[in-house]
Amino acid sequence: MNDRDNDHIALADIRGFMADDLHGALDEAYAISKATQCKQYLFSLSLNPPQDHVATEQDFLDAAERVEERLGLADQPRALVIHEKEGRRHAHVVWSRIDGEEMKAINLPHFKNKLRDLSRDLFLDHGWALPNGLKTYGDKNPLNFTLAEWQQAKRKDLDPREIKQTFRQAWERSDGMKALSNALEERGFYLARGDRRGFVALDVHGTVYSLAKWTGVRTKEVREKLGQPDELRSVSAIQTDLRARVTDQMKGYIREVNNHQRNEAEPLLEERAKMVR
């Protein structure tokens, strides 16, 4: 709250405390916690929009409400401070974890995973570019995955908003067909000639996406930038190629698992042989 390091500070919201200032509220939360065994009686969180975007006070309040709903902290005493520093505007939120009726701390299981998923939703809802750490595939083509990455990806569904963002970013950074094809392939999409001589893209599962629809541009703009799709391979040709590549990849994963199991079994087999002798 010091004004030496910050250009502007505001206590944007305080609720559930008798005190009406931040320090009084924190003292109050501490005092109530002394009636319990809880040592970590506060849960604090930073809300940092991307550097090139400015969030409103309402944006911060909405985000805080979504966080507390997700974590089970709804209606808990809360304070929210917004401050600006060197042109950046962000917020800090703090909740009391002590349930005043039960007089015990609210448990927060898997809060990191829940907050990571909510961060993705907030970025996509606002139309902000996802940082690599929040992208489903981490800006990587699934055909280049390791076994661990492939197993992790199987547990995730690709959000349509993220697909649109991928197509849009590839479109904006490309100046022609070859550049666009390379940009899409980095993320596991393959440019192809559609059945009606239009431009489409396929993911590694062979699903077809209309380029104009998923980039959000008109068909006329696509043709002006890319020309004719005649030199591109057809949808069926790429689907055949992808099936073969995915099959080879699966065979590689199976070999990797078998080798791992063989290595793990080796000392056990030696021990068994010793016992038999």
Per-residue pLDDT tens for 135-145? 876 667 777 76
Pairing state of beta strands 78-85 and 8-15? antiparallel
Residue 166: strand, helix, or coil: helix
Asked if residue 159 has pLDDT above 80, the reply is yes
- pLDDT category at 252 given cuts 50, 70, 90 is confident
The CA–CA distances, whole Å, from 243 to 171, 203, 232, 238, 251 equal 26, 11, 18, 9, 12
In the block, tokens 């305080």 appear at 14
d(CA 50, CA 34): 38
Q: Beta strand pairing status for 208-210 and 88-96?
A: unpaired
Q: How confident is the model at residue 149 (pLDDT cuts 50, 70, 90)?
A: low
Helix spans in 11-88 (H)? 22-33, 57-71
213-250 pLDDT, tens digit per residue, is 999 999 999 999 999 998 899 999 999 988 888 777 77
45-65 in b/e burial notation, b at 16+ Cβ within 10 A? Answer: bebebeeeeebeeebbbebbe
What does the pLDDT look like over 6-30, one tens digit per residue?
Answer: 678 889 999 999 999 999 999 999 9
